[in-house]
Copies of this chain bind each other. A is one copy, B any other.
Amino acid sequence: MPGTTERPLRRDAQANRERLVAAALDAFAEGGVDVPMDEVARRAGVGVGTIYRNFPAKDDLVDAVLEDAIDRLVAILERALALDDAWEGFRLYLEHALDLHARNRGLKELFAARGTGRARKRMGPLAVRLISRAQEQGALRPDFKAEDLRLVFRSAGAVIEYDPSSRRRFVALLLDGLKAGR
């Protein structure tokens, strides 16, 4: 069991796999996760068959791309936690994470449909810390739950999809309503 012998990929195969994930990231960002596999293959300069040798099904490719997005979100979370002012950290996280969503149409769908498993595991603890810290400092409403973060992203994501230019205004509105003490 500890030695699942994993022969290394041929050099060209390795390169293809990388170009594939990059192409999928771009394609999903532009057109959402519903872009056809043929389109992803075309962008990567490979045939569809190559996709399926690396990823058994489309969902697996989507997962791989999601994993990449999670990396970036975790980085933002860590940056937010490094700030002394917890409210400022909370605000910074929302602002930057939603900026990512605004630039990546697929990301919203990814987190809306999936995003429960891997994402929660890696981001959940950090987010909980961000929230409770802001509440301890008396800046964030005490009745705000960690799960509510998903509602915030859902609602903001929908707004962004409809009219990206109103993102800042909407986020400001939400934050205003989330501040502690009326």
Residues of A at under 8 Å CB distance from B?
A: 112, 148, 150-151, 154-159, 161-163, 166, 170, 173-174, 176-178
23 contacts between A and B (CB under 8 A): A148-B166, A150-B162, A151-B159, A151-B162, A151-B163, A151-B166, A154-B155, A154-B158, A154-B159, A154-B161, A154-B162, A155-B155, A155-B156, A155-B158, A155-B159, A155-B170, A158-B158, A173-B174, A173-B177, A174-B177, A176-B176, A176-B177, A177-B177
Q: For the complex, what is the distance from the CA of A148 to the CA of B172, rounded to whole Å?
A: 14
Copies in the complex: 2
Q: For the complex, what is the distance from the CA of A162 to the CA of B151, rounded to whole Å?
A: 8
Residues of chain B within 8 A of A159, CB atoms compared: 151, 154-155
Residues of chain B within 8 A of A178, CB atoms compared: 173
Residue of B nearest to A150 (CB): B162
Residues of chain B within 8 A of A158, CB atoms compared: 154-155, 157-158
Interface-centre pick from A112, A155, A159, A162 (highest chain B CB count, 10 A): A155
Residues of chain B within 8 A of A162, CB atoms compared: 112, 150-151, 154
